[in-house]
Amino acid sequence: MDCQMPELDGVVTTAAIRRGVAGERARALPIVALTANALASERARCFAAGMDGFLLKPLDADAVVSAAARLLAGEAPDPALFDRGRWAELRDLEREAPGLLRELAGSFDAEVRSGVVRLRAAQDAGDLPAIARDAHLLKGIAQSLGARAMVEAASALEAAATAGSLREGLLSGLVSAAEAANAAIRERP
């Protein structure tokens, strides 16, 4: 979807499609942003409208083929970060409930952001029980989508906080894994 078409804005059009203006079946169609605007705010605007991917102009043929293959195959956003089996289960559920993955991606985004804020505050306060609790919560959220790298990082942080031996880099490792998982999901909900 071209984001800056002359008479019809692609972001507005995508939002309308996701609301069902083009019919219920069209709501679940994959839509990839095509734009020359590489700013993070444009990327966020596209995903907020319900786009499934983001490609920059001038288009790179390999990037287009890769994005199309992921969309058509229903693959996990990044096989290095996500369990393919769990993602396949979610894609099956999506067939029965169109829009489910988009909804889960939005919930995942909100929970990850708030969880990271709480973890940083707990770390600043030296509150190990709160760190363990919030790491456990993020682990569960990650498990629901099969975000295995995030599950591993959250598990390590939870175990260390529970044992009272928080090592340097565990929280930043979880934050990095969470940000990578969140970005990957937003690329391909």
Residue 181 has pLDDT above 70, yes or no: yes
Contact 104, 189 (CB under 8 A): yes
State how far the alpha carbon of 6 is from the alpha carbons of 42, 45, 67, 105, in Å: 17, 18, 25, 30
- Listed residue (145, 159, 152, 141) closest to 174, CA to CA: 152
Q: What pLDDT is attached to residue 126?
A: 92
Q: Provide the 10 A C-beta neighbour count for residue 125.
A: 10
**79-123, pLDDT tens digit by residue?**
556 776 777 777 777 777 877 777 888 888 889 889 999 999 999
Choose between 49 and 14: higher pLDDT.
14
Least trusted range by pLDDT, from 128-132, 133-137, 179-183: 179-183
Tell me the average pLDDT across 136-164. Answer: 90
Note the pTM of the prediction, 2 decimals: 0.58
What confidence tier does 187 reach under pLDDT thresholds 50, 70, 90?
Answer: low
Residue 85's Cβ-count burial label (10 Å; 0-12, 13-18, 19+) is exposed
Q: Which domains does the chain have, with CATH numbers?
A: 1-73 (3.40.50.2300), 102-186 (1.20.120)
Residue 20 has pLDDT above 70, yes or no: yes
